Structures are given as C-alpha cells and as structure tokens.
C-alpha cells in the first residue's frame, strides 16, 4: 500500500513551489522544478503518514482514529494544493513527456479530494477515518452471538444452514453498513466539491481519468469487456443456481431469477469457490484435494502459509522478504484490540519495509490471498528505486492484476512441489472440467461484482443514485 500524501499545510505546499511571476506563463523548466519539489515533499510525508495509518488499522482506538484523521486532513490539503498548481504548470510550452505525465498524476492521484474552503479537508478526513473504524470494529451475529467480520467471512464459506447464513449476512450488513449511510453521503458531497475544483465533473470522473483514455471511453471499454465475458458468466450463474436449488429447494433458492447472495459462500458474494462442494459435477468435479484440508492435515499454521508464499517468490530467484516483514506484519487477529482484518500489502518506507495485514485462518481462501498480497509486496520492491510518482502500479487496477496473476499459479503441480499434495493425487485430465469450474467460480464470478461496485460508485458520485437508494 502506498499513499500519495503529505502532512504539510496547503499554504506551505504552495509557498514551496518554484516561484513564477504573476501573469507570466510558467516555462518548461519551472514545471520540471515544481514536479521535483512536489515529489520530494510527497515522499517524505508518505513515509511518515504510512506509519500513522498502519497503527490506526492495527490498533483501532479513539486516539488512533484522531491521529489518522489529522493525518488525512494534512495529506489532503497538500495533495489538493499540488493538484491545483499542477494544472497551471501543465500549460507550459515545451514540456517533455515525463514531466507532462507527472503533472497529470499530481492532478489525478487523489482518491478523495477536498475543496480548499476552510474545514473541508478536516471534515472529509474525519468521516473517512470513522467509516474505516466502523468497518474494522463491526460485528454480526451467529445464533444470536456476536461475531467479528473476519470470523463471519470464514464461517460463510463452510456453513450450509440457510437460516444461519441469512442471519450472518443480514446482521453484518445491518450493523456495519447501515450506520455508515449518512456519513457516506456527506463524504460523497465533500469529495465531489473537491473534484469539481480540480476540473472534473465528479469524483467518479476523477477516478476514471487515470487510464490513458477519455473518461467516457473508459466506461464504454468496461461495458464491452463485460459483454465479451457475459455469456460465460450467464452459464455459470445458471449452473450454480440449479445446484443450489437442488440442495436447498424452491423456498430457499428458486429455480429462476437471482441467486440469494448469502448462499454463495462469501460475505460479499464476490467469489463462489467456497461452495464448490455443492456444485461439483459428478466424477469430474471430484478434483481430489482441498487446500485447506491439506494444510490442516499436516498441522500447518498461518506462519507456515506465509512461508509457503515467500517460497513461491524465492523459487523464482527473488530475494527473501526482509526480517522486518516477519516482526512488523499483522498475521493474526489480536485478542486484545480491534483491527481491520481486510487483507492488504504495505511498503511503509517506499524501500523495503514490506508488510502484510491479515487475520489469517488456515483455509484455502487465505492461502491464495497470502500469495496475492505477497505479489503486491514483491511488485512494490521491484519499483522501489523509482521517483515518488512512479512508486505505484501503472494505474489503479494494475497492482490487483499482478496479485491475481500470481495467485493463479497455485496449481496442483505447485502444491506437489511444496509438499502439500501427494503426487499420486494430482488430478488427471478427466478432472480438468472440475478444476476449471472451481477457478471460474472465483474469477469469472468476480467480474460482474467488480463492475457493479464501480458502476454503483460512479452513479453515487454523479448523482444518478441518490442517498435514499443506498443499500
């Protein structure tokens, strides 16, 4: 995780920019000097800010929330100030391609921009921090007893009681999602005000400007890519729905229409692999192993799982993770405090202070997730010698593509190589259908979920979806 932020006040940020005479167009040299100055300040503050955000996410208290909110305010002020200044320098004649690209990155690299009016950055940062804390501390119930979000995630992958699945799903969304509504609506209002100051129609348009194509074209491209894969998804959806109907009956899962989201083995219904046992076709569907069961049978621990992940990358000739990774990462959910369990990969000093933040459970999903997150870490290490604005993926989606590509490498042959799977139990060619179905239930099923989330957020920011329609 890298944050494009700084803690300097807006006034300082603007005062520190290379001076340009009033009413005089900046030169290409002025623009280049401005970019270098901006990168230096952003780098210094990124290293400080990352520690604040790490502490807040791994030790949620009123005090760490306050520190994170203050940090977010200062970060936003500088980022917005630099973005506004970058727009002016972009008019310089004779800009080289790299300077022009970096000016664009300064303009569009803000996730939630605040307007420059007094108090806006503080309010936005406070709301964003509050929402993160609600998520991290949120609990649902199972059989009437409180249960953390990470425990519900694991339970929904194995529980086959539709009433209990419904309870977990509804309680989590009611207890965590609904209390966010008013604050989220206010966050949208403030961020949109900031995006308009930067010259964008709304925050969604700002986000879509990062893909080297016109904003309108990006949405059209996403729609076309979805249409290309939709026939496959429709068949997958129909097959899974039929299998769920056979197991639970019409009263729980009808033969037609949408699939009940809480039956799909995942808190957000974004990946369906957790219910592969329900939908596996006779014969070909028995692929002969389950990674979680293999790990449990050999008594493997969460730390063993992370070591397997590191071993994957060292087997490619890459260096081992630094010693600090093992002492500073969050691998387990602490018993004594609230944390955000949602898996993420961090580089706190933009060099080699690599960490992951998870609440690892010994199961298939977390084994794959570890490989995914370490893919982020090794990618972060690969570009850590670049200038600040290049300390990231090519765009917002590129990092995830790297992580997912590496997670796809967890094949039966790989499991044999690391000693988890008996070579005699490697699925033969007659099991290819089952293996591909299992993969599709995670990767193909995710595509409409990801697109839906983005389209929903774009609609929220554009105003076509009103607060009363939030759910």
Query: pLDDT by residue (tens digit) across 142-177?
Result: 999 999 999 999 999 999 999 999 999 999 999 999
Domain boundaries, the chain: 1-134, 225-452
pLDDT above 70: percentage of residues in the chain: 95
User: Does residue 77 register a pLDDT over 90?
Assistant: yes
User: Does residue 296 register a pLDDT over 50?
Assistant: yes
User: Does residue 339 register a pLDDT over 50?
Assistant: yes
- The 10s digit of each residue's pLDDT in 420-464 is 999 999 999 999 999 999 999 999 999 999 999 999 999 999 999
Structure tokens at 397: 């989606």
- The 10s digit of each residue's pLDDT in 179-208 is 999 999 999 999 999 999 999 999 999 999
- Bridge partners for 93 per DSSP: 27
- The per-residue pLDDT of the chain, averaged, comes to 92
- The 10s digit of each residue's pLDDT in 124-135 is 999 999 999 999
- pLDDT given at position 5: 34
- pLDDT given at position 397: 86
User: Does residue 20 register a pLDDT over 90?
Assistant: no
- pLDDT given at position 120: 97
Overall average pLDDT of the 73-85 stretch: 95
State the Cα–Cα distance between residues 84 and 109, nearest whole angstrom: 12
- The 10s digit of each residue's pLDDT in 386-410 is 999 999 998 878 998 888 888 888 9
- The 10s digit of each residue's pLDDT in 86-126 is 999 998 999 999 999 999 999 998 999 999 999 999 999 99
Calculate ∠ Cα 223-224-226, nearest 5°: 65
State the Cα–Cα distance between residues 408 and 413, nearest whole angstrom: 12
State the Cα–Cα distance between residues 160 and 55, nearest whole angstrom: 37
- pLDDT given at position 23: 54
State the Cα–Cα distance between residues 329 and 303, nearest whole angstrom: 11
Give the pairing type, strands 139-142 and 145-148: antiparallel
Q: How confident is the model at residue 1 (pLDDT cuts 50, 70, 90)?
A: very low
* Dihedral angle sign, alpha carbons of residues 64, 453, 362, 443: negative
Q: Are 145 and 176 in contact (CB under 8 A)?
A: no
């Amino acid at each position: 995780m890298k944050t494009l932020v700084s803690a300097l006040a807006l006034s300082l940020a603007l005062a520190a920019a290379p001076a340009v005479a009033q009413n005089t167009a900046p030169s290409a040299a002025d623009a280049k000097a401005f970019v270098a100055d901006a990168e230096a300040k952003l780098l210094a503050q990124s290293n400080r800010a990352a520690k604040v955000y790490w502490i807040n996410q791994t030790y949620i208290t009123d005090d760490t929330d306050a520190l994170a909110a203050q940090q977010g305010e200062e970060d936003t002020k500088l980022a917005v100030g630099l973005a506004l200044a970058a727009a002016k320098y972009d008019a310089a004649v004779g800009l080289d391609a790299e300077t022009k690209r970096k000016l664009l990155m300064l303009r569009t690299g803000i996730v939630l921009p605040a307007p420059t009016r007094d108090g806006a950055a503080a309010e936005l940062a406070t709301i964003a921090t509050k929402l993160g804390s609600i998520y991290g501390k949120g609990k649902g119930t199972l059989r009437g007893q409180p249960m953390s979000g990470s425990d519900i995630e694991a339970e929904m992958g194995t529980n086959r009681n539709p009433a209990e699945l419904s309870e977990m799903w509804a309680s989590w969304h009611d207890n965590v999602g609904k209390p966010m509504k008013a604050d989220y609506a206010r966050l949208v209002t403030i961020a949109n005000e900031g995006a308009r100051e930067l010259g964008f129609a709304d925050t969604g348009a700002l986000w879509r400007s990062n893909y080297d194509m016109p904003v309108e074209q990006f949405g059209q491209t996403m729609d076309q890519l979805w249409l290309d894969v939709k026939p496959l998804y429709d068949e997958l959806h129909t097959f899974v729905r039929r299998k769920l109907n056979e197991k639970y009956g019409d009263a729980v899962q009808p033969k037609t229409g949408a699939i009940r989201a809480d039956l799909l083995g995942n808190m957000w219904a974004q990946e369906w692999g957790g219910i592969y046992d329900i939908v596996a076709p006779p014969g070909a569907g028995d692929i002969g192993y389950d990674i979680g069961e293999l790990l449990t049978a050999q008594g493997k621990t969460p730390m063993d799982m992370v070591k397997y992940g590191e071993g994957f990358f060292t087997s490619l000739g890459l260096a081992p993770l630094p010693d600090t990774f093992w002492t500073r990462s969050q691998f387990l959910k602490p018993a004594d405090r609230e944390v955000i369990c949602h898996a993420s990969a961090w580089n706190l000093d933009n060099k080699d202070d690599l960490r992951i933040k998870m609440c690892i459970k010994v199961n298939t999903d977390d084994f794959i997730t570890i490989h995914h997150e370490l893919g982020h870490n090794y990618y972060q290490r690969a570009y850590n010698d670049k200038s600040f604005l290049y300390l990231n993926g090519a765009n917002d989606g590129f990092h995830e593509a790297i992580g997912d590509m590496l997670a796809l490498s967890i094949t039966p042959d790989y499991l044999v190589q690391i000693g988890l799977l008996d070579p005699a139990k490697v699925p033969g060619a007659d099991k290819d259908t089952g293996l591909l179905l299992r993969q599709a239930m995670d990767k193909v099923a995710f595509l409409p979920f990801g697109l839906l989330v983005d389209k929903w957020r774009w609609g929220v920011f554009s105003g076509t979806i009103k607060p009363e329609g939030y759910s």
